Amino acid sequence: MSRVRLTVVTALAGIAALTACSSSSDGPNSDSSKGDGDKPVSTPAAKPITKALAQADITQALLGDGETLPGWTLHGDKDVTDGEYCNSSDNDFTPAGWVRGGDSSYEYNGSTINMAFVHICLFDSVKSATKAYTTWKGTETSKQQAPKPPVGSESTLVINPGASEDTVYGFTRSGRANIRVKIEGGTGDDPSGAQAMLSATLKRLQQLQDGKSATVTAPDELAAAKP
């Protein structure tokens, strides 16, 4: 009986050792499978925009040719934004706490009949950015809907604002930065393009804040949003 017990104990010890080895080897493999190299490029950075990004960073964050939605190309050059354009269209003054901004416009298939626009506005504090964001997105609550998934600290899509029938606005705030996207022409019933441009622009700002190059694109975000 003592030999039987010894054999059983030895076998159990061997199984325990194998299990321990297996567990220890699974841990690093599991962690490495979630490493930066294996993440899709559209994985969002968790940090809100808190740094006083330079004008060059804001310009780089704006989507260029091949980085925006399919069929859209830059119309002219990326520009430095005047402060009043970081306010609502009804207010032609620079909002409180504004620091700097940038904007770009896009034409569709070489035509300016339909246009898209992106504005990035940086503020001196979250409080200033929040106040400007609230003014920017307007009061047409019946035309507003929340993006799914959300973008940044707070975000809103406005479908056919005012008297328009084919325009979508997208607004997001992340920390001290506000972003606005406007797409005209046949998009009134599909805000996915505006959301993709919003998300890509924010993630590019996040990459730059972390000292990396801006690589996320709107097609990346469109692909990531597909079920």
CA distances from 45 to 106, 123, 179, 198 (A): 26, 20, 16, 14
**How confident is the prediction for the chain on average, in pLDDT?**
83
pLDDT tens digits along 125-148:
999 999 999 999 999 999 999 998
Q: For the chain, how many structural domains are there in total?
A: 2
Indicate whether 47 belongs to any domain: no
What is the DSSP track for 4-48? HHHHHHHHHHHHHHHHHHHHHHHHHHHHHHTSGGGS-TTPPPS--
Residue found under tokens 């009949």: 113
Whole-structure pTM over 0.75, yes or no? Answer: yes
Same domain, 34 and 59: no
Indicate whether 33 belongs to any domain: yes
pLDDT tens digits along 44-98:
546 899 999 999 999 999 999 999 999 999 999 999 999 999 988 778 899 999 9
Q: Is the pLDDT of residue 102 over 60?
A: yes
Indicate whether 66 belongs to any domain: yes
By residue range, what is the domain housing residue 191?
A: 55-225
CB-CB contact of 95 with 86 (8 Å): yes
Same domain, 90 and 161: yes
